[in-house]
Every structure is written in C-alpha cells, then in structure tokens.
Structure 1
Amino acid sequence: MDQGVFYDTLRQGLWVAVITSVPILSVALVAGLVVGLFQALTSIQEMTLTFVPKLGAIVIVYWMSMGFMTQTLVSFFQDTLVPLMIGG
C-alpha cells in the first residue's frame, strides 16, 4: 500500500470519527453548561445532578442519531476500506 493511500484513508477515517461524534459531544457540552448554570444560580452542588441529565441527554441523542452514525460508518467501510482490502 502506498503511503499516500494510507494517509488519505487515515484522514478519511478520522473525519468520519469526528462527524459521528459531533452530535453526542455537542449535546454533552450544552447539557453540561445548562446544568452548571443551574447549579451556579441555585447553589446546589450535588454530583448526581451533573451526571444524570447529561447521561440522559446523551442517550436520547445517541438513539436519535444512531441511523446517521451507522449509515456513515457503513458507507465509509463499503466505499473506502472494502475496495482497499479487495484490491490490495
């Protein structure tokens, strides 16, 4: 395998990882900011208050974007990795 093909495939794989992780990471950031603001305004410093809403938001977004993530990963595998395995 040529180094250019290797690095191009690696770059595409990293981009797919970024694209599939953006929905979950963005909702975790927003939920963390909202809960942190709520805690600062109410002076409630409970550890589970930060964990449970963030986990619930992540699970909901993961469930909603599961089809998109699966389709993106399958497309990358079928369009990029399978031809490389068959051809090389």
Structure 2
Amino acid sequence: MMSEALFYDTLREGLWTGFVVAIPILTVALTVGLAIGLFQALTSIQEMTLTFVPKLAAIIAVFWGTMNFMSETLVSFFQATLIPVIIGG
C-alpha cells in the first residue's frame, strides 16, 4: 500500500516533469502568439489563419527539436520514480 507522503511526492515530481517537458512548447507558442498579435495590431489584419498556421508551425518545429530531451526526461521519470512505486520498492 502506498503511503500518503509517497503518493504526494510522486504526484509532485510528475507534475514538475510535465511542467519541464511542456515549457519549450508553451514558451514558443506564447512568443509567436505575441509577435503575430503585435503584427495584426500594427497592420489591422484580422485573419484567423494568420495566428493559427505560424503558431502551429513553430510548435511543430520546437517539438521536433526538443523531442529527444522530452523523451529522455519522461523515460528517466518513469524509470526512477514510477516503476519502483509500481513494483513496490
């Protein structure tokens, strides 16, 4: 049976790992969104695809570039934290 402290520690570490993995994508999405919003405000162009397509392309590019980091981070979290908890060690 899992103790309450172990449960919360595992939950905290899982949330932190998810945060660290999501930071690159969220940062790029925010930066590109702000740049496109500024461009739209300066030019008075209000096209919905103007915000969606470049942001999606930037997110895919960052995901592609950080895929190795994300995979290694998640695998190390599973190996160091979740698998021992599942096994009971």
TM over 0.5: yes
Deviations 1:5-40 (A, max 9, x none): 000000000000000000000000000000000001
**Shift in Å, 1:87:** 1.9
Provide structure 1 residue ranges, at least 5 long, that are not aligned to the other structure: none
Code of the aligned partner of 2:52:
F
Separation in structure 1 between the aligned mates of residue 5 and residue 26 of structure 2, nearest angstrom: 31
TM-score of the pair, normalised by structure 2: 0.96
User: Where does the alignment leave 5 or more consecutive residues of structure 2 unmatched?
Assistant: none
Aligned AA (2:34) = L
2:22 corresponds in structure 1 to 21
Instruction: Name the residue aligned to 1:45.
Output: 46
- Number of aligned residue pairs: 88
Deviation above 3 Å: which 4+ runs of structure 1?
none
Q: Aligned AA for 2:16?
A: W
| Matching of residues 1-88 of structure 1 within 5 Å | 1-87=2-88
- Structure 1 residues 27-64: Cα deviation after superposition (integer angstroms, max 9, x where no partner): 00000000000001111111100000000000000000
1: CA distance between counterparts of 2:49 and 2:80? 43
Give how far 1:69 is off: 0.4
